[in-house]
Amino acid sequence: MEMSHRSDEFVSIATQAEQDLRDLLNIPSNYKVLFLQGGASQQFAQIPLNLLPEGGSADYIDTGIWSQKAIEEASRYGHVNVAATAKPYDYFAIPGQNEWNLSKDAAYVHYAPNETIGGLEFQWIPEVGDVPLVADMSSDILSRPVDISRFGMIYAGAQKNIGPSGIVVNIIREDLLGKARALCPTMLDYKVAADNGSMYNTPPTLAWYLSGLVFQWLKEQGGVDAIARLNDVKQRTLYDFIDASGLYSNPINKSDRSWMNVPFRLADDRLDKPFLVGAEARGLLNLKGHRSVGGMRASIYNAVDITAVNALVAYMAEFEKEHG
């Protein structure tokens, strides 16, 4: 923690972390990898400050709370065209691309491939022609392979599949650098970050180091293909159980269900409390749904292995027998 970020030791930690991430995601050489600060929420402002020219317009897809926060923030900097929204589906399904209203002159198209709170995940990559596609992958990066070349920029707050909070990873195509508005703070200019190896100022060195350890761990697991196979088994185990049960339900359209965040409800919400108390007694923690939606949510990120999912399902079955 006391290591200078300019020391050879830390520079080698930082370089190795970037290389491991490049290997894991097959990041093409014309993309920069940035390790930034301010969380994914700061990106909601940083994206328009860098990519939305004065007087320009950007397309946003609304599939839930995080997309909406991005929309709200970007609207402060220019015109936002909400090209599609899941609202008519009560945020239980993603509108197909035939329902989208993309504009030809958009500076970029922004979407959140995985809505962490709602539990809605794209199983496909939008087709947006030459317009740069910008994706908030905070809660699904590294959960399965992704073709980086389809994107102008991907960003992800670290605290799900990467490492501790305090760092954000940006993977940005080089031609999108150097477009920041005059008023964009130096610290928020992607080009400044890229030109300085993400060290324009002191970076969060400990979070960067720990993220690097996670990348090494993931390589030892066999990389993203291997973790994707495990994630697939995890999500199928949980959804299959929920769908077959009479007590639990998940409202999301089957082809739009998140592999990482599985929200579910009990048939009678008076059972929520005893369910959580029993879960906690078994070491099954953090199952309470987000305060904005209630119910339950099992977040089964890369670090949660199949034994934990099996333990949850066993407990859910036992609880259903008692209370169903």
Ligand X SMILES: Cc1ncc(COP(=O)(O)O)c(C=O)c1O
List the catalytic residues: 66, 136, 160
Interacting positions 175-234 with ligand X (CB under 6 A)? none
Indicate which single residue of 62, 121, 136, 320 sits in contact with ligand X (rule: CB under 6 A). Answer: 136
In the list 118, 157, 203, 289, the residue contacting ligand X (rule: CB under 6 A) is 157
121 contacts ligand X (rule: CB under 6 A): no
The minimum distance between CB 55 and ligand X, in angstroms, equals 27
The residue count for binding ligand X (CB under 6 A) is: 10
Judged by CB under 6 A, which of 58, 86, 112, 262 binds ligand X? Answer: 112
Nearer to ligand X (CB atom), residue 116 or residue 250: 116
Radius of gyration of the chain (CA): 20
Closer residue to ligand X, CB minimum distance, 25 or 112: 112
263 binds ligand X (CB under 6 A): no
Can you give the three-state secondary structure of the chain, one letter per residue? CCCCCCCHHHHHHHHHHHHHHHHHHCCCCCEEEEEECCHHHHHHHHHHHHHCCCCCEEEEEECCHHHHHHHHHHCCCCEEEEEEECHHHCCCCCCCHHHCCCCCCCCCEEECCEECCCCEECCCCCCCCCCCEEEECCCCCCCCCCCHHHCCEEEEECCCCCCCCCCEEEEEEHHHCCCCCCCCCHHHCHHHHHHCCCCCCCCCHHHHHHHHHHHHHHHHCCHHHHHHHHHHHHHHHHHHHHHHCCCEECCCCHHHECCCEEEEEECCHHHHHHHHHHHHHCCCCCCECCCCCCCEEEECCCCCCHHHHHHHHHHHHHHHHHHC
By CB under 6 A, which span of 95-103, 131-139, 176-184, 297-305 interacts with ligand X?
131-139
Task: Tell the smallest beta-carbon distance from residue 112 to ligand X (Å).
Answer: 5
String marking each residue 64-103 x if it binds ligand X according to CB under 6 A: --x-------------------------------------
Q: Which is nearer to ligand X, 71 or 247 (CB)?
A: 71
41 binds ligand X (CB under 6 A): yes
Among 116, 205, 235, 250, binds ligand X (CB under 6 A): 116
Q: Which is nearer to ligand X, 136 or 189 (CB)?
A: 136
Binding site for ligand X (CB under 6 A): 39-41, 66, 112, 116, 136, 138-139, 157
